[in-house]
Amino acid sequence: MKQYLFLFLIPLIVIGLSACTPDGSSPIPSASRQMIVVIAESMDAPAAQLYRFEREAGDSGWQLLDDAAPVIIGRNGLGWGRGLHRADAARQPVKREGDGKSPAGVFTLTQAFGFAPVEELEGLKMPYTQVTEMLECVDDVASEYYNQLVLRDGVDSVDWQSSEKMIRIDPWYRWGVIVDHNRDPIENGAGCCIFLHNTTGAGDRTSGCTAIEPDYMREIVFWLDSQKRPILVQLTREDYGALHDSWDLPEIQ
């Protein structure tokens, strides 16, 4: 499948995006040195806490960078997504298109986006897409471009009936990071257009993204470093505790 998102960006750094880790192994890549952890109190909770961690190397311990920050997740909580973790039929619910759930699991973070021109973003350490009038995220399950960011005027034919026109989702998409859920391979209907992005306040609800206070979202965009292979771990507190040892996850309060 064509990945038109990367026609105008630095190429995606792939470190094993499919949910195929062997039984008993950790889905946390040894090359990853930045981790965002999002913890919800239950699979149905629409709010969560976010923690940031870094480590010097794959065999060193994770260090907590700052206090937990409140975030907003899907209006219907969490559903198991498609990422670095092993697919397990016993884990329910499974995220599907239109379910209002954020993906649970482990996901790479490889691309930032925002309204500002890249030349104004000195110090940025991630591939970056400027949101323009032509940029859309396709959510039509029948489209060849499902779950892809595309420039509408950069494809041979527009075959989708619905999409997120990114520039109209203001101020939520002024700063954002793509969550690599359902990216390799893309399964139509398994959920799309999952981001970390701005929130406007406690009354916000999302369809599956994780929304963060704007100043902190901007800080995250500039903190993330593609050379450190950043990942997102998004789980309930119960699942985090159950998977803590086998996944070699950092301690949280």
Percent of the chain with pLDDT over 90: 85
- Name the token pair of 132: 């323009």
Under a CB-based contact definition with an 8 Å cutoff, are residues 209 and 196 in contact?
yes
- Name the token pair of 66: 């700052």
Whole-number pLDDT of residue 2 = 35
Q: State the Cα–Cα distance between residues 83 and 183, nearest whole angstrom.
A: 8
Whole-number pLDDT of residue 8 = 33
pLDDT in tens, 18-77: 334 544 589 999 999 999 999 999 999 999 999 999 999 878 899 999 999 999 999 999
> Could you tell me if residue 120 is left (phi over 0), alpha (psi between -120 and 50 degrees) or otherwise beta?
alpha
| C-alpha closest to that of 102 among 212, 201, 213 | 212
Q: State the Cα–Cα distance between residues 220 and 216, nearest whole angstrom.
A: 6
pLDDT in tens, 62-113: 999 999 999 999 999 999 999 999 989 899 999 999 999 999 999 999 999 9
